[in-house]
Every structure is written in C-alpha cells, then in structure tokens.
Amino acid sequence: MSGSSSSSVAGRDIVALEGVTKRFPGIVANDSVDLSIRPGEVHVLLGENGAGKSTLIGMLSGLQQPDEGRILVDGKPTPITSPRHALALGIGTVFQHMMLVPTLTVAENLLLGGPWWQRPRTEELEARVAEITRSLGITVKLHAKVSELSLGEQQQVEILRAMVRNSRLLILDESTSMLTPKGIDELGALMRRLVEQGLAIVFITHKLKEAAAFGDRISVLKLGRKVGEIPPERFRALGEQAIISEIVELMFGKQKDDPEAVERPVRTVRAEAAPLLQVADLAVAPTDNAPGLSSISFDIRPGEILGIAGIDGNGQKQLAEALAGQRAATSGSVRLEGIAIEALSVGERRRRGLRYLTDDRLGEGTVGTFPVSINFFLKQVGAAPFWRHGVEQRGEIDERAAQLVREYDVRTPSLKTPVARLSGGNIQKVLLARELAEGAKVVIFNKPTYGLDLANTLASRQRIRDTAARGLAVLLISTDLEELLSMCDRVAVIANGAIVGTVENTDDARTRIGRLMIGLAA
Amino acid sequence: MSIDTAPTTSAAALDATSAAATRRDILHRLLMTLGPILIALVIAGCILLAVGVDPLAYYGFVLEKGLFSPLGIQQTLTRMAPLLFLAAGLIVAFRAGMWNLGGDGQFLLGAVTAAASAPVLVQIMPSWLALTFSFLIAMAVAMIWSLVPALLRAYQGVNEIITTLMMTFLGTSLANVLVKLVFRDPSTTVPQTRTLPVEDRLPRLFETTITSGLLLGLAAIIIVHLVMTRTAFGLKLRIVGANPRAAVHAGLGVSGLTVTVFAISAGLAGLAGAVDIIGVQGNVRADWNPAYGLAVIPAVFLARMNGFAAIGFVFLLSVLSIGGESAARRLGVPNHFTLVLVSIVLIVLALAEYVDHRYNQSRKA
C-alpha cells in the first residue's frame, strides 16, 4: 500500500468524472455529472432512491459505460471496461448486498478471483491481512465461515478484500443500510482511518445524519443531476445541524433558473363540497421489505389536489396500494363518495371510479410484450364493447386505442408495437389515458413524473391539473417537493408510514414541509 | 430515442406499415425455425455416421415408415391424437406462465380411469354415452390430481415445476397400482385392465386405421388456440403469464386463474390418456408409460405455443417416433435416437435464437 505518502498526493484527483451522462430506455439516470474523488477524503454521495447513485457506481466499477462524458483516472481519460479492469485500476467496490460466498471461509473468499492455475497463496495472504488489520485496528477471523459472521464483520471482510487487492479508491454503496447503530459508528471510524492512510472513499447513502457525520465532501444528486456540492473547507466550517439544513436546501429547495417551476394557478376548491375520498385511521402491517402504515387519515374534496410529501420509502407505495386494494389493510376505513370501499376488490374499486396510476410503469403498470392497444384496456378485460360474450372485438379495441393515442399524444410506431419499446414518457401517456378515461372520480398518482424528461413532465403535470379542474379528487404522491408546491392545494407529509402533518400550500409551505420531512415540528 | 420523434399518424397508416412488418416477421420466423431443424438433421447425421450408420438410410427409413407408406402414415396420424391433447394442455399452461410438467402422471391416470370405466359403462348404456362419460371421468380425475400443485402454487407460491414433476412420479406409480390391484381384468393372467371391445372404441376414419380421436385432438388444440388468442379469458391468462404483478395491479384474481389453468391443462392431459385408450389401445397394461407428456414439450416450444404451429410439430414428432421405431429396428440404432434428434433440434434452435437476438441488438446499437 502506498498510504504513507498521502500528503503529497492529496489535492489531486484519483478519479474524476466529467460531464458523465447515462441513459436507459425512457430514463436519464445520470445527466452530465461532474465529480472529483481525492485521496484522503470521504466523498459522500447523497440522494434519494432513483437519484442516480447506483448508476454512477456502476460506471465507476466498470459494470456500465457512460453514454457521454469521460472518466479520468490519475488525470488520464480511461474507459473502465469491466469490473476486473476497475480492480486493476485500484477501484474497489463494496456493494449494498453482500458479495461473499457464505459457505466458504473468510480466507477462501479473499483468495477468490486469483489465477485458476495457481495454488491459493494462503501464507502470503495471511501476512498481508495481518499487516492491513494491524494498521486499521480491526480483527478479522480468517478461518471462520462467512455465514458465521455478523453483517458488520462481513462488511469489514469486504473492505479488507478491496484493501488486499491494493485499492486506492473504495466505494461503499449504502453500506450502513443493514448495520446496527454501533456497527455504523464502527464503520465511520474505520473509514476515517482508511482515509488517513491516503485512501479515497466514496460513501453512498441517503441518510443525512451519516453524511454529515462521516463526510469530508458531499455531493447531492437529484433526479440524475448533481445539484450541489459542499467542499471540505465549507464542511469543516459548518456545524452538523448547519450541514444538514444546507443539504435539505439542496435536496428539496427551489433552484434558480428551474424551468419546471410554474406558479401555482389559483384554483378555488369549494370548501363546503362533500369529500370524494375519505380515509380514516388506515393501517397496514409492515412486511419484510416494506414499512407498514399507521393511522393515516385525510379527506379530498372534488377538484382538490392533496399532495403526499416525504422521503422515498416511507410508506408512499404502501399507501397507494392500500387505497387501490392491492395491499390488505389491517384496519381503518376508505370511503368513496361516502360509501365504504375498504372491503372491495381492486376491480370493484376501479369500477366505482377509484383509479391508481402506478409509479412502476413496466413492472406492474403494463405488460411490456403486449401491444400498445391491449395495454389501454388491461384493467377492463372482458368489458363491453371491447369484448362481447368474452370474445375480443379487435375493431372496437383498435378504434378506441387509436382515439386514445391521438387524444393523449402517444408517440408510437403502431398500435401493435409492444409497449415496452416506447419511451418512459409515452408509456406514462398510455397509463394516463387508461386511468383518466371515462368514469374516474378519484385518481391516485404515484410519482407521476419520475424519470420523465422535461417535456413529458410538464405534459403529465398539466394532465393532473386538468383532472382536478374536471372536479375529480386527486391524491398526488411525489418525492419532488417542487412538483407538490406547484400543484397541490394541501400537502401531507408522510414519515415512517404515518402522516406527520398537513400543510396548506401557502407561501411558507416549503420550509414547513421541509422541517416535517426531516422530523422537526412544522 | 427514435420512437419519440416518430410522428403520430392516423390509425389506417399505422396498420398498413404494420401489415408489411407482419409478413416480414412471419418469413423471418419460418426461416428461424426451419433453418435450425435442417442444421440439426445434419448434426444428427454426423452422429449416425460416427456410430457407423448411414444417415441417409436412417432418414430414408424414417420418412418411408413414418410418412410415405400407407400403413405408416395411418399410424402416424393415429399417434397424433393423444399428442394433440397433451400439446393443447401445455399451451394453456405455458401461455399462462405455469410449467405443468406433470403431463405424464395426469395422462396415465386419465388413461387408467378411462380404461376402467369404459368397458363397464358400455354394458349399461349406449356406446356413445358411455364413451362420453369415460372421457369426463378421465378429465375429472386428472383435474383433481393437479389440485395439489395448483393450490400450492396459487396460495403458497411453491414452484410448480418441482411439484408437478413429483406428482408425475406419484401419478405413474398410482396408475400402476390401480391397474394391478383395483382394475385388474380377472379373466387374464396378464396384469392389465379389462379390454374395451374394438366395436365400442372410437370409430375409425373412413376405410383406414386412423382413429377419429385425431379429429377430437385437432378440435381441442384449435379451440385452445382461439380461446388463448381471441377471448377475454385467454387474455387474462396471458397477462398472468407475461407479468403477474400487472395482473394483480389490473385486479385479476391470480390465485383463482392459477387453479383454473392447472385444471384445464391437466384435464386435457387426462383426455389425452382417455383418447389413447378409448380410441386405440382398448386397455392399460401394467407398467405401460409411453412418456408422451415430456416428448410433447419440445414440440410446443418449437411452435412457440401457437396452436396451429403445434399441429405441424406434433405431426413431425409423430413421423419421427413412428418412423424412428422402425428405422431403429432395421439399422440397429437405439430406439431413443429419436429423442437425441429432437433434443439436438432444440439446442440448435436455442442457439439460433441467441445469435439472432445478438444480431438484432448489435444492429440497433
């Protein structure tokens, strides 16, 4: 290891990203991101799910190639062509999910990946490990089976593996997500010792507190773009609270020259009108990988848009699914036009006018291999006039589909095109057409503009406004505060599966929502 | 993406362009199916050469016995009847994304119940009614047999590949036990069921030995194809098969549909057993297991679960198995060489698919 000469190389980038852009069908995962990674620094990458962190790591570790821009290693433009190449360049990655073989011992895991024609060099490894662990002040049981280690110990093994392979840059992807609070503190201390030896660390997280506690430099990603950076000088000058509030400002705050910012049109909701949707004390049991909901209550009147704000993964999807009937509620009531619907099936709720526009457009919203025309009617299979006595009426289907394609401006080569071949924006238009067609009374939008480009984002927002203007009740779930502020009448904030406060969308709504989101009282 | 910029044209223009695309698509499909089969024949020929058999003679015998001789083609067409029912059952299951690999157990249980019931029923009611009842009983028993994997899959998410395969072992053993212990014909020393008299079996077509079960099989597979492609019920099953989460999102009762799919698929397999007994065999001997169920799976895959294409591939499979049996006897090639041939076809086909996919990807990029 070349750690002792840290001071001489400090200040020069080990790895730098210049204008890196990565696109996936329908989504811009990274939009001209610049990043400089320096030895002796913990560089925190902060962002919500879907902000583009994983894609960025994928490119750094050689799993994916950027579409535009370049990656510089030691100042020289270097395409990182494979994970093996990344390792050879000294870039080691500890992925979110453990990548150790549980049935092998620690030593065997560390020896994996060596040349197959050689005998594993166990003695050499033991000497290396002893040297590294001594300098880091950790102990690793080389001959224990990985399955017998705690998650924190496994993580140390993964870090050790990267060190054994002479990594100069260590990427830790959501490494704290499975650790106990004590484990998290130990990891923080370990990172500190590693950077003191001259290593560079990229630490990915979506937890603000960890970012402030462990970082030297913070870059904030939002919807694929880098929206701000706090350099080390500034980082040291600020206290923890000040850093957190600055991050909140970066993550949720209004940006200058934001083209999406539209003044909220003044809409009058008749306060005396009876609510279309009433939810009282709704609760959902938590599952292995999803938080539950507790005591969710709200009303939405005709023509009103109620926003649900919150950091992603706090129960938004569970709320939408419970309302749509896809997820069983343990208690509470849901009333549509005053009639209880909480015991009804998904199909029956839809027939009564409750529509759910899912955020998972390809995963559950559409059947990707089916033609566009059929995807318009997925939720009406068997209904007249498109099916008569159970037999498909292709003429009726195509006629109505062509009409919807025109009305919602779906850009598709043909009605027969498999829907997965369309861009994200056009798939979203298919879903909008399906959910907003005749009979809708209450519409739940879950992250309706997630992953869309600007034009489609604006078009989708206009659809939602029009929906409310038609006198429908709208529940708008979004992680984009800007979006909520530009469209909603009221905004409820969800945290840990409970609504922690509801704010009228007035001038000071932004700060009050932001405070609620990070757990402070409005 | 280029699709984004494509102008939205009228529906008529859209259909015109897609018609040409469909023709090209069919041509491409045909090439991608027949090409690999030819290559596979060449590879299998090389294997025959290696074991010292003249491949041309082998293929010649196969064609002569399975296709060109009058007796052979009649045997081939007769063999198709149960295979078509099995293929129909597999199409329903595979299109709904469920791997019913228990066809053989369901087939044998259907065959045994048909063999047990038909000779008894014909003595107490008109022959056509008796045969109808036998068919229904065979179907019902196979459906009940499929309940275990169906319920496990529908409500517990247990992988049906494992459960149906295990149930098929149990099913074949149970069928044997039934033949030997319960339905054994007391008048013979051979362990077999009572024999349905030839005049009470399904009538033969015209002046040939071809069973009219062939027509039933053709009807079954065409009906299944039309139901799967043209009806709301078929579309629901296809949604479950293509994207189960979308099915939940769209409000379909996935559990109920799963059980239904297994019932239909197994019911058709049971009918396949019944049609083979009532139409051709007349009884079930102990330890009889033609293993049609597994043999049909490749044919259904080659046909990409299209009913009409499946008819063609089932015909090919029949020719191969009838002709292969005869060629094997005359040239000393093991009988199972037919299976070797079919599996080579499958492997080459999969490789061709992969190459084609890579080619398309690189052309797009």
Name the residue facing B242 among A349, A370, A422 (closest C-beta). Answer: A370
Helix (H) / strand (E) element for A296: namely strand A293-300
Judge if A289 and A430 occupy the same domain: no
pLDDT value of position A8: 39
Instruction: Return the exposure string of A383-400: e unless at least 16 CB atoms fall within 10 Å of the residue's CB, then b.
Output: eeebbeeeebeeeebbbb
Q: Which of A165, A17, A132, A164 is nearest to A77 (CA)?
A: A17
Place of tokens 């490789």: B351
Q: Which of B323, B18, B137 is nearest to A414 (CA)?
A: B18
Is the same domain home to A132 and A206? Answer: yes
CA distance A188 to chain B (A): 39
Tell whether B194 is covered by a domain: yes
Contacts of B236 in chain A (CB under 8 A): 381-382
Residue B3: per-residue pLDDT = 40
Cβ separation B246–A414 shorter than 8 A = no
A190: nearest Cα among A178, A203, A206: A203
Q: Which residue of chain A has the CA closest to B16? A: A414
Dihedral (C-alpha) B278, B279, B281, B285: value to the nearest 10 degrees?
-20
CATH code: domain of residue A9 = 3.40.50.300
**Residue labelled with tokens 């619907």:** A341
Contact check, Cβ <8 Å, B251/A350? yes
Give how many domains chain A has, as a whole number: 3
Q: Is A200 among the domain residues?
A: yes
Question: A with B: how many residue pairs have Cβ under 8 Å apart?
Answer: 112
Report the alpha-carbon distance of residue A324 to residue A444 in Å, rounded: 8
> Which residue, among A367, A403, A406, A456, would best test binding to B if mutated, counting the most B CBs under 10 Å from its CB?
A367
CB atoms under 10 Å from CB of B278, counted, come to 27
CB B4 to CB A415 under 8 A? no
**Domain presence at residue A263:** no
Shared domain check, A464 and A430 = no
pTM exceeding 0.80: no
For A443, the 3-state DSSP assignment is: strand
Sign of the alpha-carbon torsion through B186, B189, B194, B196: negative
Q: Which domain holds residue A409?
A: 358-438
According to DSSP H, which parts of A165-253 are helical?
181-196, 208-214, 232-237, 240-252
Contact A413 B14 (CB under 8 A): yes
Residues in B touching A410 (Cβ below 8 Å): 8
Please indicate, yes or no, whether residues A210 and A247 belong to a single structural domain of this protein.
Answer: yes
Q: Does residue B211 lie in a domain region?
A: yes
Task: Judge whether A21 lies within some domain.
Answer: yes
A258, part of any domain: no
Q: Domain check: are A48 and A29 in the same one?
A: yes
B221 min Cα distance to partner chain A (Å): 18
| Chain B residues within 8 A of A370 when measuring between CB atoms | 238-239, 242
CA angle, residues A81, A85, A90, in degrees to nearest 5: 130
CA-CA distance, B341 to B46, in Å (whole number)? 11
Indicate yes or no: CB of B249 within 8 angstroms of CB of A358. yes
**Assigned domain for B167 exists:** yes
Tens of pLDDT, residue by residue, chain A (522 residues): 343 333 334 457 889 999 999 887 666 788 889 988 999 899 998 876 667 888 888 899 888 888 889 899 888 888 888 888 888 888 988 876 667 888 888 888 888 877 777 777 788 888 888 888 888 778 888 888 888 887 778 888 888 888 888 889 999 887 776 677 777 888 888 889 888 888 899 998 877 778 888 889 999 888 788 888 888 888 888 877 788 778 777 776 655 444 455 555 555 566 677 889 999 999 999 877 677 898 899 999 999 999 999 877 788 889 999 999 998 899 999 999 989 998 999 999 999 999 999 988 888 999 989 999 999 999 989 888 898 888 989 999 999 999 999 998 888 888 988 998 887 788 999 999 999 988 889 999 998 987 777 778 888 899 999 999 988 999 999 887 888 888 999 999 998 888 988 998 887 888 888 778 766 665
The secondary structure of residue A105, as a DSSP letter, is B
Distance from first CA to last CA of chain A, Å, rounded?
50
pLDDT tens track for A409-466: 888 888 988 998 887 788 999 999 999 988 889 999 998 987 777 778 888 899 999 9
C-alpha distances (whole Å) from B109 to each of B52, B143, B220, B271 are 41, 10, 19, 10
Query: Taking all residues of chain B, what is their mean pLDDT, rounded to a whole number?
Result: 87
Per-residue confidence (pLDDT) for residue B365, from 0 to 100: 56
- Are A449 and A348 in the same domain? yes
Q: Are strands A490-495 and A200-205 parallel, antiparallel or unpaired?
A: unpaired
Half-sphere exposure of residue A251, counting CA atoms within 13 Å on the CB side? 27
Residue of A363, A379, A402 lying closest to B250 (CB–CB): A379
Considering CB atoms only, which of A345, A392, A413 is closest to B235? A392
Q: What is the H or E stretch that residue A2 is in? A: none
pLDDT, tens only, B340-353: 887 888 788 888 88
What secondary structure does DSSP assign to A117-160, as a single string?
TS---HHHHHHHHHHHHHHHT----TTSBGGGS-HHHHHHHHHH
Residue B210 lies in a domain: yes
Contacts of B252 in chain A (CB under 8 A): 347, 381
**Contact at CB, A423 and B18, closer than 8 angstroms:** no
The answer to whether the beta carbons of residues B282 and B201 sit under 8 Å apart is: yes
The mean per-residue pLDDT over the stretch B89-118 comes to: 93
Q: How many domains does chain B have?
A: 1
* CA distance, residue B269 to nearest chain A CA (Å): 25
> Measured between alpha carbons, how far is A344 from A439 in angstroms, rounded to an integer?
17
Residue A293 to residue A282: CA distance in whole angstroms: 7
Last residue of a domain, one of A420, A438, A456: A438
Burial class (CB in 10 A: 0-12, 13-18, 19+), B146: buried
* Nearest Cβ partner for B231 among A390, A422, A426: A390
Residue B239 structural domain: 82-313
**Is residue A90 domain-resident?**
yes
Contact check, Cβ <8 Å, A402/B11 = yes
The distance of A260 to chain B (nearest Cα, Å) reads: 21
Q: Are residues A322 and A369 in the same domain?
A: no
User: Does residue A347 sit in the same domain as residue A318?
Assistant: yes
Q: Is residue A257 part of a domain?
A: no
pLDDT by residue (tens digit) across B170-207? Answer: 999 999 999 988 888 888 888 888 888 888 888 888 87
Give residue ranges of B with CB < 8 Å to any A CB: 1, 3-8, 10-11, 14-15, 17-18, 21, 230-233, 235-236, 238-239, 242-243, 245-246, 248-253
Nearest CA in chain A to B236: A381
- Kindly state whether residues A309 and A453 are assigned to the same domain: yes
Kindly state whether residues A244 and A135 are assigned to the same domain.
yes
Give the one of B231, B233, B248 whose C-beta lies nearest to A326's C-beta. Answer: B248
Nearest Cα residue to B240 out of B228, B260, B254, B251: B254
The answer as to whether A387 is a domain residue is yes
Do A19 and A122 lie in a common domain? yes
Within a domain: residue B1?
no
Q: Do B243 and A364 touch (CB under 8 A)?
A: yes
Task: Say whether B250 and A406 touch across the interface (CB within 8 A).
Answer: no
pLDDT (0 to 100) of residue A420: 87
Q: Which residue of A has its CA nearest to B245?
A: A364
- Percent of chain B clearing pLDDT 70 (strictly above): 94
At residue B9, the pLDDT reads 40
Do residue A390 and residue B232 have CB atoms under 8 angstroms apart?
A: yes
A385 preceded by a cis bond (ω within 30 of 0): yes
- Residues of chain A found within 8 Å of residue B4, distances taken between Cβ atoms: 411, 423, 425-426
Q: What is the ipTM of this complex?
A: 0.79
**Cα torsion through A70, A73, A78, A81, rounded to 10:** -100
* B78 residue type, one letter: T
Asked whether residue B134 is domain-assigned, the answer is yes
Task: Please give, rounded to a whole number of angstroms, the shortest distance from the CA of B5 to a CA of chain A.
Answer: 7
- The reply to whether A245 falls in a domain is yes
Chain A residues touching residue B257 (CB < 8 angstroms): none
Contact yes or no for B246 and A378 at CB 8 A: yes
Nearest residue of B to residue A351, measured between CA atoms:
B251
Query: Looking at the domain assignment, is residue B130 inside a domain?
Result: yes
Q: Which residue of A has its CA nearest to B240?
A: A367
CA distance B2 to chain A (A): 9
Claim to verify: residue A331 and residue A366 sit in the same structural domain: no
| CB-based contact B8 A406, cutoff 8 Å | yes
* Interatomic CA distance for residues B31 and A304, integer angstroms: 58
Measured between beta carbons, the chain A residues lying within 8 angstroms of B242 are 367-370
Q: Taking CB atoms and an 8 Å cutoff, what residues of chain B touch A374?
A: 235
Pick from B227, B240, B243 the residue to mutate for testing the A interface (most A CBs within 10 Å): B243
**Are the Cβ atoms of B232 and A392 closer than 8 angstroms?**
yes
Q: Which residues of A touch B17 (CB under 8 A)?
A: 413-414
